[in-house]
Amino acid sequence: MRVEIAEIESPIGEVIVACQGPAVVGLHFSDHNGEFANDLSRRFGEWEPSSGAHADEAAARLRDYFASDLRALDRLQVDPAGTPFQRRVWAQLRTIPAGRTASYRDIAIGIGAPTATRAVGVANGANPIGIIIPCHRVIGANGTLTGYGGGLERKRWLLEHEGVLLRT
């Protein structure tokens, strides 16, 4: 199976985006390239990278986002696969606008599962399309940064880029 791949340089490192048709199916930082390839293999079996218009469009939107068009990613289609619960969490994450944050509890309430805070955290951590599905916008209930697969410094940068004032 062919998967369109594009790479872009960003202020927080090289980003690799993968598309299957018009939908983004993966996004990782290049320093997590092995994890990225494994995620795509689990999902698609044998796959081969190719270039294409869909990945180029996703890359262009990512460049726009990093150049301060904070709404540039909103229009991208995503297909993250995952369990029905994960997909509900990831869909809820996409409702958090740039410049805002939510807690794991906020997300749990938003999907109608107010006692599933820990499960929301696990789903958040398994997000295969970081930045576009904005798991970086989820912070601790006390306003502090919590884990991020790309590293807390990247999470801090993304939130500050979006205008979020963080507690120090």
CA distance 61 to 59: 5
Closest CA to 29 of 140, 163, 152, 149: 149
Pairwise CA distance, residues 168 & 157, whole Å = 13
Beta strand extents in the chain (DSSP E only): 2-8, 15-20, 23-29, 48-50, 77-78
- Cα angle, residue 88 at apex, residues 45 and 107 outer, rounded to 5°: 130
How many of the other CB atoms lie within 10 Å of CB of 142? Answer: 8
Active site residues: 135
